[in-house]
Amino acid sequence: MREGKIILVDDNLRDADLMIRAFRKSGLANDIIHLKDGQQALDYIFTEGEYETRDFNDLPKTILLDLKMPRVTGIEVLMKLKGDERTKDIPVVIITSSKEDPDIKTCYSLGVNSYVVKPVEFDAFFKAISQVGLYWLLINQPPV
């Protein structure tokens, strides 16, 4: 059963902090787990490495995933999530600065649920992230 946790995977600490602040300001009280790269995300979700004692069945409600990260890219994380029967239904939202058409096409072909380009301007960034959070956490009805 999903407890309403949000997994935020982004190696840019400033962007991650702004996203968390936008969620809080929008009134979203969900637990937010910030993971700093794709490898840490895979370890957390699949209960490996430092997260081997975590309950695998405590799956997140939504995963917010950056693309350009060290060690394991967002596309590699997406591929693993959508390729595993246990995690393929978790909504994954790409939140990235990449507007490149190949990235967008690749992500959708792998099963991403949404692709959002991070606005550069602060107020637009804050508003976009708040709207993403409200939609995916309050409005969207995922499969159970």
Give residue-wise pLDDT tens across range 121-138: 878 888 888 888 878 777
Delineate the domains of the chain, giving CATH numbers in brackets: 6-137 (3.40.50.2300)
Phi and psi torsions of 51, nearest 5°: -110, 15
> What local confidence, expressed as pLDDT, does residue 104 receive?
94
Q: What is the 3-state secondary structure (H, E, C) of 39-70?
A: HHHHHHHCCCHHHCCCCCCCCCCEEEECCCCC
pTM of this structure: 0.90
